[in-house]
Chains A and B, each alone.
Chain A
Amino acid sequence: MNRCAEQRLYLALFYCLIFCVSVAWAQSRIKVPTLTSRVVDLTATLDANQQKTLDQRLRMFEQKTGAQIAVLIVPVIGTESIEQFSIRVAEQWKLGREKIDDGAILVIAKNERRLRIEVGYGLEGMLNDAVSKRIIDEVIVPTLKRGDLYGGINAGIDAMMRVIEGEPLPKPTGKDDRQGSGFDLLPLILFAALAISGFMRALLGRVKGALAASALLGLAVWLLSGLGWLAILAAGLVLLITLVGGYMGSGWQGGRRQGGLRPYRDDGGYRQIGWGGFHGGGGGFGGGGASGKW
């Protein structure tokens, strides 16, 4: 028995160690920069004019084809490989339209002299690995070798745009392609419903109130698990229960968020509040593209 406890202690220590190591590891990766515009330059290499020109060309391209291209210039990447970094950027920025996945990113690590074209699922047909590699080796790298970063990027996105134009993409719809705002709002609606029901419960009795709260809770979790139509149904039910079943306050513990198994969406809050500038449309990436160095 004593031995058992000892073993457990060691196990606990072991997990602590693993935790610390993983925290340290997580910190050694650099943070994905915020997507503020189509050209994110953290090295201040491009002047305002150049940045504007590139941005404008990319914007016009998006208006024409619907595909989103962005450029990211960072000084260094650190311990990760450029592929690992760039897929993290892609997962967070979500360039390209949702379901069409027509996004691409040109990532440049200036001081490490490495670059990568990361290609969304929807563009992998034309802008495939071999073509991306050729653009890097034959178009961008020679210019970068001469020390002309702007020229390299300009020629690079030029080539990318020309290739992507060959991809049969659905026409861009006039308005913004941001996905369903109603869906994003649902948690908020639920929150409001909860607040109201809490208020009701505080106002009135207890037993039924607690029951209503528990039902609410169950449905809230369902909701968070992401079934849209069910969620709406649930919201209605919540209201119904709050109104009919019971108002009344008794202890109900704050929301248990079981967000655990949601698909890869760890970027909370990026799309909810509009920021005047540029945002990804929800496109997916799977590691396609090519890397190079100069």
Chain B
Amino acid sequence: MRKVFYLLAGLLLLSLQACGYNTLQSGDEQIKAAWSEVINQYQRRADLVPNLVKTVKAYASHEQQVFTQVADARSRVGSMQVTPEVLNDPAAFARFQAAQGQLASALSRLLAVSENYPQLKADAGFRDLQAQLEGTENRIAVARQRYIRSVQEYNVVVRSFPTNLTAMVFGMQVKPNFSVDDEKAIVHPPAVEFGHESVR
């Protein structure tokens, strides 16, 4: 009788650690944290836009087309729902990525345009904003990389045996990750190109 009890207690402990429930939970939490950092940095970029546009407008008022593109992309990003539920919905995730990518390319076009205005380039305020934009793009890259890493670790646990059984029981699915394609566009800070506009 006693032996059976010990055996059961041992098995229970063993199953608790082997099923990986805790690992899955902490992984899930970590992804959420990494994701909010990503959102945070994207938000920071969106917040920079109005000032940047205002400064460029002061010197290059007739580049109306670029301004509308930036404004459109900005409002699309702003209207996006970015709850953690996005993480469980690959389609919403892809939409989010696309919207951020559009803003990134609109901004790089804005910077490309500003290359044609020497006075603008010499403006101290503009240079500060440019540095902030570059810094923010880099922060986005770092946050994304950390998100990718935590999703990778989580997905490995969700997929490998025997933790996949636990994941199945609790309905925890593989999380979507950033696609490499888009990554390329963002890892490099917006390129300031001469002459032609960068097209995505």
Contact = CB atoms under 8 A, between A and B. Distances in A.
Which label, helix, strand, loop or mixed, suits the secondary structure of the A interface? helix
Interface string B118-133: 0000000001111110
A219 interface: yes
Given A207-B3, A260-B156, A290-B135, A87 B13 contact: no
A287 B74 CA distance: 23
Interface stretch (B62-70, B94-102, B141-149, B171-179): B141-149
16 contacts: A83-B141, A83-B189, A87-B142, A129-B134, A132-B131, A133-B135, A207-B6, A212-B10, A214-B13, A218-B14, A246-B6, A260-B23, A260-B153, A287-B135, A287-B138, A287-B142
Contacts of B13: 214-215, 217-219
B16 interface: yes
Contacts of B129: 130
Interface string A260-294: 11011000000000000000000001111111000
B132 to A, nearest CB: 5
Contacts, number: 108
A263 B22 CA distance: 15
Interface of A: 81, 83-84, 87, 128-130, 132-134, 137, 207-208, 210-212, 214-215, 217-219, 221-222, 225, 245-246, 258, 260-261, 263-264, 285-291
Nearest to B8: A211
B164 to A, nearest CB: 14
Which label, helix, strand, loop or mixed, suits the secondary structure of the B interface? helix
A210 B134 contact: no
Interface size class of B (residues with CB under 8 A): 35 or more
A105 B101 CA distance: 30
The 6 closest A-B pairs by CB, nearest first: A129-B135, A287-B142, A133-B131, A211-B10, A130-B128, A218-B17
A210 B10 contact: yes
A260 B157 contact: yes
Nearest to B138: A287
B127 A133 contact: yes
Contacts of B130: 133
B132 A215 contact: no
Given A214-B14, A287-B142, 8 more contacts: A130-B129, A211-B10, A214-B11, A217-B13, A218-B18, A261-B27, A264-B149, A287-B141
B54 interface: no
Given A83-B141, A261-B157, A263-B30, A289 B10 contact: no
Nearest to B129: A130
Given A245-B6, A260-B157, A261-B30, A218 B16 contact: yes
A134 B128 CA distance: 8
Contacts of A290: 131, 134-135
Given A260-B23, A261-B27, A130 B17 contact: no
Contact of B139 (A133, A210, A263, A288): A288
Contacts of B157: 260-261
A257 to B, nearest CB: 12
Given A207-B3, A260-B157, A261-B27, A286 B139 contact: yes
B23 A286 contact: no
Given A225-B22, A245-B6, A261-B23, A286 B143 contact: yes
B153 A211 contact: no
Nearest to A212: B10
Nearest to A215: B13
B135 A261 contact: no
B136 interface: yes
Given A129-B135, A258-B20, A260-B23, A215 B128 contact: no
Interface string B35-57: 00100000000000000000000
Interface string B157-189: 100000000000000000000000000000111
